Amino acid sequence: MRIAVYGTLRKGMPLHGYLTGAKFLGEDWIEGFELYFKYLPKAVRGKGRIKVEVYEVNEETFRAINEMEIESGYRPIEINTKFGKAVLWEWPSKVDGAKVESGDLVEYFKKVRN
């Protein structure tokens, strides 16, 4: 099963440990989404694009991540990536916080920290 992650599950981010043992397939840009950040990153449908990392995960890893994401208020959806279909967790509600204009949360954090 493939997943596409854009936030705290990406390399160098706090929850990346969930992906220990997963196969990294590569990065992609997904059109039709905008990214916001306030405590948590939130991808919502929009006119922008977001940067994702795509991973091949086993059922156990998928279940753990899916449960965590749903409990946090996200909704799993299927998207197309250059590596094939993947699950991405979008934010289904109204968003607040800072818009990540670049669509790349890792790059955003690098700029905020400096």
The confidence score (pLDDT) of residue 63 equals 97
Higher pLDDT, 94 or 86: 86
Which residues, including other chains, have CB under 8 Å from residue 49's CB and lie 6 or more apart? 29, 30, 31, 32, 33, 103
**65-88 pLDDT tens trace:** 999 999 999 999 999 999 999 999
Residue 110: its pLDDT value, please? 82
Summarised one tens digit per residue, pLDDT across range 10-50 is: 999 999 999 999 999 999 999 999 999 999 999 999 999 99
- Residue 114: strand, helix, or coil: coil
**Which residues are CB-neighbours of 26 under 8 A, at least 6 positions away?**
53, 54, 82, 83
What is the mean pLDDT of the segment spanning 57-67? Answer: 97
Q: 95 — phi, psi (to 5°)?
A: -105, 155
Q: Which residues are catalytic?
A: 69
Total-model pTM: 0.94
What's the pLDDT score for residue 67?
98
State the Cα–Cα distance between residues 18 and 32, nearest whole angstrom: 26
Q: Which domains does the chain have, with CATH numbers?
A: 2-113 (3.10.490.10)
* Residue 104, token pair as written in the block: 């790349």
Q: So what's the pLDDT on residue 112?
A: 72
Res 109: pLDDT:
85
Q: How far apart are CA 88 and CA 105, in angstroms?
A: 15
